Amino acid sequence: MSKMPLRRVAEEAARLMAAGAENEYIHAKTRALQMLGISGQTRLPSNRKIKDCIARLTQEELGADEVHRRLRAMRQIAYDLMTVLEMFDPFLIGSTLTGEIRRSSDIDLHVYSDDYAEVEDHLAIFGYDEIDIEQVENRKGSFVHLRWMEQGFPIEITIYPWSWRTVTLYSSVTGKIMKRADVHGVSKLLTRMEQERQKSRKQSEHDQSMDMPAPPPMQDQSTNNQTNV
């Protein structure tokens, strides 16, 4: 496949995922091929390429300020949940961690427990009680997902066995070790975002003051006081 069709497939797959029409990269690529009328190819754009296209589309659609607002809100929700679930060793993963969110991005957490009902009951104590439970089976094994909407954002919590706390997980996007952050790491992210917001605000105020017209020069009062001789 030449560079042009490869780029077109990446962009079309990104549009499908950004719109929430597809959630899996491989499904988005296959559907993009069909929509573009490109015959089956062994070479497809990388997940990383599609992810970059999604980030660009999201910036164009929502604007940088709205993307930042959403990311700040999503990380705060993640932090609040992780504080509640601290006894289950929670970690934040995915786009809410990396900052590469799209309109349909969810807040992905990993927790550890040998009994999913224990996690569910603990959440209920803190008012998180409208939760959908899904049993998922994949090549890693059988796991439980907890899903619900929180302040307009989808939440997905994957519950792994307690013994898996030392297991190294790999990203399906990059194939590398999965990026994760514990509650202290998320707190640092929020602090950094707030510092950047304050810095940006001060810079904006400074730029506005520089754009203001200079006041007129003071008139020499001694000249006004002179009398004709």
- The length of the chain in residues reads 229
| Same domain for 74 and 28 | no
Per-residue model confidence as pLDDT tens digits over 10-25: 999 999 998 888 888 8
Query: Beta strands 91-93 and 153-160: pairing type?
Result: unpaired
Q: How far apart are CA 1 and CA 43, in angstroms?
A: 7
Mean of the per-residue pLDDT values of the chain: 87
Q: pLDDT tier at 102 (50, 70, 90 boundaries)?
A: confident
Q: Is residue 224 part of a domain?
A: no
- Phi and psi for 160 in degrees, rounded to 5? -100, 155
| Same domain for 109 and 14 | no
| Same domain for 160 and 56 | no
Predicted local distance difference test score (pLDDT) of residue 229: 44
44 pLDDT more than 90 = no
| Same domain for 175 and 111 | yes
Predicted local distance difference test score (pLDDT) of residue 25: 87
Q: How far apart are CA 194 and CA 174, in angstroms?
A: 29
| Same domain for 142 and 42 | no
Residue reference for tokens 């719109």:
19
CA angle 157, 177, 104 (to 5 degrees): 40
Per-residue model confidence as pLDDT tens digits over 203-215: 777 677 776 666 6
